[in-house]
Amino acid sequence: MALDSDMTYDAIYRTGLSRSHYNILLFDYAYFQFSRDNDVTWRLAFFPNPWVSGSPNAVERVRQWEAQEEDGLIDHEEASNLIAEMPYIGAVPCIRFESAPAQYREMAHPSAHFHIGRHDQNRWPSTILLGPKAFAMIIAKMYYPDFWARKSRFHNAEVEACCDQTLLTAMGEARFVHDFSVVEQQSFHFGKNLR
């Protein structure tokens, strides 16, 4: 369904949510999907809630409705209807990271790449192979900055376990992409030059 260019993002998002096609569900009903074919081929995806993600006001409204539902002031159907009637914001794009060395073609199809948004040809090359931990932490840092700052000594939080330090460790453990030519290194890409 996600590969169908005629499908709307909200339909893709709702289908994944309703069928529980996710590995991690966040407080704002955004979710992560992780899949792995083998040791070198995997897909990491973040599907933001198009009505809530990126809007602190929308998140707060949903929390209020959930609290009212828990207190018995409204039932589940009423809460669901209120959420369904929220305006479509689409503030945060869906993001995928793929490692697909079998599909590598120099300058045409990077072995490792990001997809930002839904256009299937927008492959943003990467020289770094991200794993689920690093990917999830990057998403958290970029799209949940208030929560991130509370756990980061770089944002003046007094914490024992700093999330920025944990991310740096995860990035230090990331491997480099083998299929990345000298020519590709001269072009735009995420990561470091290998040579």
> For position 82, what pLDDT does the model report?
85
- Buried b or exposed e, range 56-77, using 16+ CB within 10 angstroms: eebbebbeebeeebeeeebeee
Quick one: pLDDT at residue 99?
Answer: 97
| pLDDT the model gives residue 2 | 63
The predicted structure's pLDDT at residue 6 = 79
* Alpha carbon distances (Å) from 83 to 21, 64, 109: 20, 11, 39
Residue-level pLDDT at 76: 84
CB of 189 within 8 A of CB of 126?
yes
Residues 6+ apart with CB under 8 A from 104: 110, 111, 179
Q: What is the 3-state secondary structure (H, E, C) of 36-89?
A: ECCCCCEEEEEECCCCCCCCHHHHHHHHHHHHHHHCCCCCHHHHHHHHHCCCCC
Per-residue model confidence (pLDDT) at position 193:
61
Residue 119: its pLDDT value, please? Answer: 86
CB-facing half-sphere around the CA of 64: CA atoms within 13 A: 7
Query: What per-residue confidence (pLDDT) applies to 59?
Result: 87
pLDDT at 24: 96
Q: Residue ranges of the chain with pLDDT lower than 50?
A: none
Identify the pLDDT of residue 79.
83
Q: What is the pLDDT of residues 22-58, one digit of tens each?
A: 999 998 999 999 999 999 999 999 999 999 999 888 9
95 contacts 46 by C-beta, under 8 angstroms: yes
Determine the pLDDT at residue 153: 95
- pLDDT reported for residue 84: 74
pLDDT attached to residue 81 = 80
pTM: 0.89
